[in-house]
Amino acid sequence: MSEQQWTDAAAVDDVPADDVIAVLVGGNEVALYSVEGSVYATDNICTHGHARLCEGFLEGHEIECPLHQGKFDVRNGAPTCAPVTEAIRSYPVKIEGGRVFLSLG
Amino acid sequence: MSAEEKTIVIVGAGQAGGWAAQTLRGEGFGGNIVLIGDEAHRPYERPPLSKSVLAGEALPETTRLQKPEAFDALNVDWRPRVSATRIDRSAKQLHLSGGNVVGYDKLILCTGGRARKPGIPGSELPGVFTLRNLDDAAALGAALAPDKRLLVIGGGWIGLEVAATTRRKGLDVTVVEAMQRLCERTVPPEISGYLQRLHVSNGVRVELGTGIERLAQGADGTGLIATLVDGRTLACDVVLAGIGLIANDELAREAGLQCEGGIVVDPQCRSSDPNILAAGDVAVWHCERAGRRMRLESWQNAQEQGIAAARSALGMAVNHQPLPWFWSDQYGINLQIFGMPAPEHHRVVRGDMESDSFVVFFLDAGKVVAALGPNAARDLRFARRLIERGASVDAGQLADLQIPMSKL
């Protein structure tokens, strides 16, 4: 794998435990999730109805869209419940010095 | 049913039929799937037809269930612009328009419904519309220039959403509703009042407890004149009738299947013929939460019953008893309803009903059985959990904004 570019997205403390927030990174809205002490990142806009996942409902590793209750696995963006059929883009995350860095690829 | 030679035929390529096809493949069914649709379109969702698609803010293809390549990958024998004309139950064959016949091992009827037409003089005039499918939305949208006057017959969800969409485009809009309040069939009086205030404050004229007796061409040859039952007249250019849905159950009825304003099915989605299933707007089933047989005309039911019918056709265990869930978008407000609010339920309000975000809970014997509210998706998601758990909740705590919903 070629060397990854890491972009500073937020402070780790900005992401409440077992919850989701949205941040603007490189002009795109990204949702950051904190689950069991790990941080995950996906695009913030649902692939189905264009709702904002940061307004959704995080249960374990699944984020549920606030509009139509579609679900994604926040670890890899895979769709896990109808109506979503298309994966949402997920981003590699690393934590350094209390900051959340994303590889936007 | 896993044998490769089996055939499952789905009649109706709407949301329920589309999800049935998707689910059959998702569950590993390798046989033939024939999908009969009388429209030219691949399966799509209808909610945007009265909102973003009608407003011209979203392209029709954004409503599709699957991307075309994903739909093609399902390897479904899709027959667009074809309708089913007769079921031969003894031969297990379906006759199609154009004369073709297809055999089935299981038949899933997702024939949906059609918009009820206003049975009044003048309802066939140009400029009078109903709204059910993509082509209807395109035709209505083309007629809605900002300088036009729209008359909406029926103060239900379709009518109100079209009123909101068109009012935002600048049209002059009047809603005429025969009952004494808006959405009388689905929401309690205070929510009808909320909806009425919302529309009136956005400049819509709302006429309750009256109806349209006839429509006629305007005297100068342009526009329409609507005569109300009380004798008043109203000049308009476009009329939308949103007065309900008629289930397309003729195919089933003529085949001798039990129908009661739709095809009667059990929680396994089976009709009175176990080889024929039904799902979506056309299906009538016993809703445990409502305590009665009903059709559930909703996006959620079309999806979930379509999925359930497909699994049932494959011999999987299903018990279709969803927690009914419905939403409407009007003037940027998202109103959601979980469960079946009923007049006998005790009501608890969280927040200020004069504001644009609050929740109303409906309690039965101390348990939350339904909840609704505008712009409260997150709180309602927690409310849904309370309903699903059947938990007893203190009414004072529900109303207390100092206690987050997540802690209840």
What pLDDT, in 10s, does the model give residues A66-103?
888 899 999 999 999 988 888 999 999 999 999 999 99
Q: Report, as an integer, the average pLDDT of B322-347.
A: 94
H or E stretch covering B328: strand B325-330
CB contact under 8 A, B325 and A69: yes
Percentage, residues of chain B above pLDDT 90: 92
* Domain B117-241 class in CATH: alpha beta
Pick from B70-79, B222-231, B376-385: least confident: B376-385
Q: Which among B66, B307, B378 is the nearest to A55, CB-wise?
A: B378
pLDDT band at B5 (very low <50, low <70, confident <90, very high): low
Q: Is the peptide bond between A83 and the residue preceding it cis, with omega within 30 degrees of 0?
A: yes
Contacts of B170 (CB under 8 A, 6+ apart): B146, B147
Question: Which of B361, B374, B342 lies closest to B405, judged by CA?
Answer: B361
Query: pLDDT per residue over B202-250, tens digit each?
Result: 999 999 999 999 999 998 878 999 999 999 999 999 999 999 999 999 9
CB contact under 8 A, A82 and B70: no
Please name the residues between 53 and 92 in chain A that touch chain B, using a CB distance below 8 Å.
55-57, 64, 66-69, 82-83, 85-86
For residue A86, what is the nearest residue in chain B, using CA coordinates?
B66
The nearest CA of chain B is from the CA of A83 a distance in Å of 8
To the question of pTM greater than 0.80 for the whole model, the response is: yes
Question: Which of B396, B349, B357, B388 lies closest to B374, judged by CA?
Answer: B357
Query: What fold is seen in the domain B332-407?
Result: Enolase-like; domain 1 (3.30.390)
Pick from A48-57, B39-48, B211-220, B270-279: least confident: A48-57
The nearest CA of chain B is from the CA of A59 a distance in Å of 11
Contacts of B120 (CB under 8 A, 6+ apart): B212, B213, B214, B215
In chain A, what residues touch B304 (CB-CB under 8 Å)?
82
Higher pLDDT, A41 or B378: A41
CB contact under 8 A, B381 and A85: no
What CATH number labels B7-114+245-313? 3.50.50.60
Instruction: Note whether A77 and A33 are within 8 A (CB).
Output: no
For chain B, which residues make up each domain, given as ranges? 7-114+245-313, 117-241, 332-407
> B299-313 and B15-26 are packed helices; what angle lies between their axes, rounded to 10 degrees?
40
Chain A / chain B CB contacts < 8 angstroms: 27
CB contact under 8 A, A66 and B304: no
For chain A, domains (ranges, CATH) are 7-102 (2.102.10.10)
A2 part of contact set with chain B, CB < 8 Å: no
CB contact under 8 A, A64 and B381: yes
Buried b (16+ CB within 10 A) or exposed e, B20-58: bbbbbeeeebebbbbbbbbbebbbbbbbbbbbbbbbeee
Q: State the complex-level ipTM.
A: 0.75
Instruction: Note whether B279 and B248 are within 8 A (CB).
Output: no
Do the domains spanning B7-114+245-313 and B117-241 agree at the CATH topology level?
A: yes
pLDDT score for A85: 84
